[in-house]
Chains A and B, each alone.
Chain A
């Protein structure tokens, strides 16, 4: 798993590639929480994500909650395949704002 962070409009974009599991989700957690703690809304790009397990989902939940408490947002873009199924299984697709492409984000 690798991730890349860059700025998109006034958001921080975190693009995940590969598989997020028990071993590497702590790294994602640290990155996400750092972004939110420094006052940025975040977009998590799932387009290159092939698999995410419960620890990854839990990390997203924690970051989303922290963001919400700080009046920031956490959005998921490009979810498909297994990661999308997991979001549906946990009903989190009804909680997280989920969009298909970055174009849907207005400046």
Chain B
């Protein structure tokens, strides 16, 4: 392997399919320890697929994914289990279990994987709730929480074991601007204080530019560019420029065909 020994994530020649359809076409990138990497792309770019493969929820057609020196694709149960305890994942809707309270949800990994005393677990849970501005919410049920609160509760659960790696799926989606900014600050704080490596999958430009050390941009299943915020902003690739300037895709309009579509509904 040609990786520098600082890389905590190495993805090489990743190719994935969904049925017969190819989603990712030869993806290559690496992430260094303590880095905040934002993965961006429009819908259909394959960024969620990439995330799911890194989390070992899906198996690729070919290629390798190595996380913290573990070959995720070929690892046996036990090795994967140990790795997963060092990884936290914050899902889009929080993915909390509706039959338990918020507190019970957050405690779950601790109760399953550690022998810590109940008092310690309770205080740890409350520490994380405080960090997420959810103090006092531990006895509520998920159904009693708003979308933003659910996300934060999901994040609390993701970081309860102080993982080395944190994966964040669309953190800002559905949040009001103020909460989104607070979440961005939280991500930065978590990296600084806990030295976490953080992967964020998002389409929100402002957040990305604020928190990213590097951004990887996907288009149609391929990486267009991996670079710093400045490199992205100065990219000459038209797709990147469109994305940054929020221009709609340039479509050539055929007047006759357009009228035909409007009046007859036929293409």
Contact = CB atoms under 8 A, between A and B. Distances in A.
Contact between A and B in the complex (any CB pair below 8 Å) = yes
Contact of A85 (B115, B123, B192): B192
B161 interface: yes
B196 to A, nearest CB: 12
Contacts of B194: 86, 89
Given A85-B192, A90-B131, A54 B116 contact: no
Nearest to B161: A22
Interface string B187-199: 0010011110000
Residue from B115, B120, B123, B193 having most chain A Cβ neighbours under 10 A: B120
A47 interface: no
Interface in A14-42: 21-22, 25-26, 29
Contacts of B131: 89-90
Residue from A29, A55, A57, A82 having most chain B Cβ neighbours under 10 A: A55
Interface in B3-25: none
How extensive is the interface on chain B, given as a class? 20 to 34
Given A26-B115, A57-B127, A89 B120 contact: no
Nearest to B128: A54
A86 B193 contact: yes
A59 interface: yes
A21 B116 CA distance: 11
A74 to B, nearest CB: 14
Contacts of A22: 114, 116, 161-162
A25 B120 contact: yes
Contacts of A91: 130
Interface residues of A, number: 20
A61 B114 CA distance: 19
A82 B195 CA distance: 8
Given A22-B161, A54-B128, A62 B192 contact: no
A53 interface: yes
A105 interface: no
A64 to B, nearest CB: 10
Contacts of B130: 90-91
Contact of A26 (B117, B127, B193): B117
Nearest to A62: B119
A100 interface: no
A58 interface: yes
B225 interface: no
Interface of B: 114-117, 119-121, 123-124, 127-128, 130-131, 160-162, 189, 192-195
